[in-house]
Amino acid sequence: MSIGTFRSAHSAVVDDDVAALEAGLDALDTPTRTTLPLLARMRRSVLPPIVAVLFLLVVWIVLVALHVKPTYVLPPPSDVWATFLDYWQKGAVQEAVWNSLRRAFVGFSISVVVGTALGLLLAQSRFVRTAIGPLVSGLQSLPSVAWVPAAIIWFGLSDAAIYTVVLLGAVPSIANGLLAGVQQVPPLYLRVGRVLGARGWASIRYVVLPAAMPGYLAGLRQGWAFAWRSLMAAELITFSPELGTSLGQLLQIGRELSDMTLVMAAILMILVVGVGIELLVFAPVERRMLRSRGLTTGSST
Amino acid sequence: MTLATVSENQQWAVADVPDSDVAPAIVLSRVTKRFRGDEARPAVLQDVSLTVAEGEFVSLLGASGCGKSTLLSLVAGLEKPTSGTVSTPGGRAALMFQEPALFPWLTAGQNIELALKLRGVARKERRGQAEHLLERVHLAGQHGSRVHELSGGMRQRVALARALGQEARILLMDEPFAALDAITRDVLHDELTRVWGETGLSIVFVTHNVREAVRLGQRVELMSSRPGRFVRRWTVDIEGPRRIESAGVAALASEITDDLRREIRRHAAGADTEVAS
């Protein structure tokens, strides 16, 4: 039997048919995707949190109206708002938010660099993983405020002390996130990569890192939360006029003046900024990535 | 139509090429493969020899655990044999799996472009070549589709296009259609036959589906499990185009199925004697 004749007899008949058949099957089998109109999506995703916030405000107002506690302990929302406006007009709010955000940004950026390098090292070397893996995980559960006294003794009341605390808070989360992401890469992807000719760095660059992206992003997101939290703890304690106004410092001033309205205004600002960055930066990036990989349904988020 | 049983010997000489005037693409010579920590059981592959000619389509058939996939890994260079030699005079081998294994962070076209890039194709040529490869598997216009937006059959065709993009002369296929529905599988059989006709690739197609093995292959090799060996070989000599339901395919398939069942029953007997001893 000659391979050549066998092949040509074979392919002549099927050729035209296959294309049409495949086109039909493709049309029938392709998963369909439905997207809700913008208004309906807004109603689904924006309405519930607004309702929740309004509900909490009502509870707050009712508690104040019932005189559960004296107003210097539990001030009404209107007084907190008045204090906020007062500090806003003095420019203290803007300066505090700017200073804290700047530090958070710088601290988080350094944490990303260090955490990513550490995560890669942990993922690549079994020795390093066995040696310091448990330590890195352990650091995650150590409240970073515990580092503040040490940082102050090492670096004095300075930005360096604050950044030390932020890094110790954020780096373990980022490193662990990347490590978890790498460890969850399906072995099949690595095999495919090798068959395609990806070895060594090419395998890491084109297969491992993109495949580990969901875990890494989750780590970054958690790292941001830890960085922000650690920053507030550090700013609260590392109190010095040279460091300028910051959100943590507003809290401390409120405490010293026994001004509950300022304390609550500062808490709310810390919350709003932290949640705002989370919602405006991390949530959309993560959602986009998961959706492009088909890991979420497009409309239900 | 003739059904030809070439031989019932357990091993083949290295030079035992069906079309002796054609150069070999793959040569396995007395290959044994054991995995570490698995020395107590019979070898996954025991003293196996196989020659695949340039442009030949060979179906490897066998029950689970007969080392079919291991054999492909050896040819692809993903594993090393414990003893014996594996050579591929036909050049590098592309490998397709049961799962399409497309990377979900890339579009269909980008998946193919990655294969081109890793092969060293220049950036500005990749896009065009990927489009062309997609056309080859009747997926023109799907370059920007996300993997999860494609059906199972379409994903496997993208995987085929990616394998073709490797420009390998050998294509190894590890039950690539096993997870697809019957209609889609049928169409992909046509597709694969067509691509093989156009490219003249040497193909080793692993399956546990007897009809599929006969439908596609010019030669069917039946393997036994633990130890993995070649038990029997059939040359598929059916005139004209074949379908999975062709009478010739059915007749040969039923003959092969009898042998396959005998192989599987032998394992039950083997298990009994092990218990008895």
Q: Which of residues 64-83 of B touch A (CB under 8 A)?
A: 76, 78
- The reported pLDDT for the residue numbered B6 is 42
Instruction: Tell me the per-residue pLDDT of A188-215, one tens digit each, with 9 for 90 and over.
Output: 899 899 888 888 888 888 999 999 998 9
The average pLDDT across A212-219 equals 91
Instruction: Using the predicted structure, report yes or no on whether residue B277 has a pLDDT greater than 60.
Output: no
Provide CB contacts within 8 A for A260, sequence distance 6+. A72, A73, A74, A75, A254
For the purposes of burial, counting CB atoms within 10 Å of the CB of A101, is it exposed (0-12), middle (13-18) or buried (19 or more)?
middle
Arithmetic mean of pLDDT, B102-119: 90
Q: Which of A25, A33, A196 sits opposite B183 (nearest CB)?
A: A25
CB pair distance less than 8 Å for B118 and A191: no
Contacts of B104 in chain A (CB under 8 A): 293-295
Decide if A298 touches B, using CB distance below 8 A. Answer: no
pLDDT band of residue B17 (cuts 50, 70, 90) is very low
B27 contacts: CB under 8 Å, gap ≥ 6: B14, B50, B51, B52, B85, B86, B87, B88, B89
Average pLDDT over residues B63-75: 82
**pLDDT, tens only, A270-285:** 999 988 998 899 888 9
pLDDT tens-digit map of B90-101: 788 889 988 888
Query: CA B237, B239, B244: angle at the middle one, nearest 5?
Result: 80
Please judge whether B150 and A196 are an interchain contact, meaning their C-beta atoms are less than 8 angstroms apart. Answer: no
DSSP chain A: --HHHHHHHHHHHHHHHHHHHHHHHHHHHSPP-----HHHHHHHHTHHHHHHHHHHHHHHHHHHHTTSS-TTTS--HHHHHHHHHHHHHTTHHHHHHHHHHHHHHHHHHHHHHHHHHHHHHHHH-HHHHHHHHHHHHHHHHS-GGGGHHHHHHHH-SSHHHHHHHHHHHHHHHHHHHHHHHHHTS-HHHHHHHHHHT--THHHIIIIIHHHHHHHHHHHHHHHHHHHHHHHHHHHHHS--GGG---HHHHHHHHHHTT-HHHHHHHHHHHHHHHHHHIIIIIHHHHHHHHHHTT-S-TTT-
- Test B149 with A22 for CB contact under 8 angstroms: no
Domains (range + CATH), chain A: 95-290 (1.10.3720.10)
Nearest to B202 by CA among B84, B72, B81: B72
Inter-chain CB proximity B196 and A7 less than 8 Å? yes
Cα–Cα distance, B227 to A288 (Å, whole number): 49
Lowest mean pLDDT among A220-224, B139-143, B173-177: B139-143
A128-147 tens-digit pLDDT: 889 988 888 888 888 888 88
Give the nearest partner residue to B103 out of A21, A194, A210, using CB atoms. A210
Question: How much is the average pLDDT of A228-257?
Answer: 87
B187 CA to chain A: closest CA distance, Å? 7
Pick the range with the lowest mean pLDDT from A14-18, B36-40, B198-202. A14-18
pLDDT-based confidence at residue B147 (cuts at 50, 70, 90)? confident
Report the sign of the C-alpha dihedral through residues A164, A166, A169, A172, in that order: negative
* Interface contact flag, A195 B218, Cβ < 8 Å: no
Residue B272 burial class via C-beta count within 10 angstroms: exposed 0-12, middle 13-18, buried 19 and up: exposed
Model pLDDT, residue A175: 94
Cross-chain CB nearest to B240 (options A3, A9, A23)? A9
Report the CATH superfamily, name and number, of domain B2-92+168-276: P-loop containing nucleotide triphosphate hydrolases (3.40.50.300)
Token pair of A60 as six digits: 């707050």
**pLDDT number for residue A34:** 66
**Mean of pLDDT values over A166-183:** 92
